[in-house]
Amino acid sequence: MVKQAKMSEEQQCQDGYTYRIRRMEPHDIHAVMMLDRLVFSDPWPESAYTQEIYFNPLACYFVLEFTQAMPHRRWPWKPRNNTLIGFAGMRIEQTRGHISTLAIHQDWRGMGFGELLLITALQQTMAMKASAVMLEVRPTNTPARNLYAKYRFIPIGRHTRYYQDGEDALLLEVPHLDADYAQQLAEYRQLVEKRIQERLSTQDPLSS
């Protein structure tokens, strides 16, 4: 059985609605694929998610969802029910973790949710005893590259014409996962969750 990292408990915000990160389940695949197609120009086929969830014991995928209706007065343009707004996945390849995907709906970017999913994937990688972790990113994706640099990812290579549109991929790695890194992840998680709570309780979407 795959060891499970401790995930976010359901987080209650000031206005009464909640969000959580949980393991992706088969019934999530349709919603995940819809978000995948919205976010990426080269989305995964359904078979890829099916393979990872059902047949890869060394893979873990997560979804981030709101779990309670949001007040109509404050969030008139947001979903009113259980709504998946992000997902992330990782797998173990020999002794190294590989973060295979991470996406947040465009309406919820800049809040900290993508960073929270990244932390979740990294903590899961460490729970599964990986000694290092890597991922691919587009050279033109500056926000993602800045986020990964914060979490000590360094460039180690380049895949030529990796994406379907012909763009290369930068190969990034955290070469050593140790107790100090685990402690930093835990501290960052607390800060990110606090920041999300503050932004959700103070942001006024009608002014944007």
pLDDT tens for 49-93 read 999 999 999 999 999 998 765 544 444 445 444 589 999 999 999
Range of lowest pLDDT (9-23, 37-51, 139-153, 171-185): 9-23
Does residue 103 surpass a pLDDT of 70?
yes
Q: For the segment 157-198, what is each residue's pLDDT rounded down to a tens digit? A: 999 999 999 999 999 999 999 999 999 999 999 999 999 988
Mean pLDDT of the chain: 87
Q: Rounded mean pLDDT of 8-20?
A: 62
Rounded-to-integer distance, Cα 204 and Cα 136, Å: 35
Confidence of residue 201 (pLDDT cuts 50, 70, 90): confident
Does residue 148 surpass a pLDDT of 90?
yes
User: Distances in Å between the alpha carbon of 5 and those of 82, 90, 119?
Assistant: 23, 12, 11
Rounded-to-integer distance, Cα 76 and Cα 40, Å: 26
Look at residue 73 in the predicted model and tell me its pLDDT.
Answer: 44
Q: Is the Cβ–Cβ distance between 137 and 172 less than 8 Å?
A: yes
Rounded-to-integer distance, Cα 16 and Cα 164, Å: 42
Residue 39 CA to its chain's centroid (Å): 13
Three-class SS state of 205: helix
pLDDT greater at residue 143 or residue 4: 143
Rounded-to-integer distance, Cα 25 and Cα 176, Å: 30
Three-class SS state of 66: strand
Look at residue 6 in the predicted model and tell me its pLDDT.
Answer: 59
Confidence of residue 203 (pLDDT cuts 50, 70, 90): low
Rounded-to-integer distance, Cα 3 and Cα 6, Å: 10
Look at residue 66 in the predicted model and tell me its pLDDT.
Answer: 87
pTM for the predicted model, two decimal places: 0.87
Q: Is the Cβ–Cβ distance between 67 and 28 less than 8 Å?
A: no
Q: For the segment 42-60, what is each residue's pLDDT rounded down to a tens digit? A: 999 999 999 999 999 999 9
Domains, the chain, with CATH or none: 11-202 (3.40.630.30)
